[in-house]
Amino acid sequence: MKSNIRGEGGGLGGATAGFYIGKYGTYAVGHGGIVIASAMTGWGCVATFIALEGQCAAPIEMASNIAALAGGIALGAATGPV
């Protein structure tokens, strides 16, 4: 397939960086929020952490996949050939 669109992105380094920034940024926000919230519960912090991770691990993983895809597309297009 050949594209006739001028200015189309496709920077490999930008796509890779965008993927990792989106993926691990989402992990940091999601799991970091769980750690902070469970730390505020005092003596019940371990039980709170286990319960929140059990409930939120799958949605955080799904969100990180979407963020990785979006970040890869965005930075790949931004750093591609002009």
Q: What is the pLDDT of residues 47-76, one digit of tens each?
A: 999 999 999 999 999 999 999 999 988 888
Give the predicted TM-score (pTM) of the model: 0.78
Q: What is the pLDDT of residue 66?
A: 96
| Identity of the residue numbered 24 | Y
Handedness of CA 45, 54, 25, 33 (dihedral sign): negative
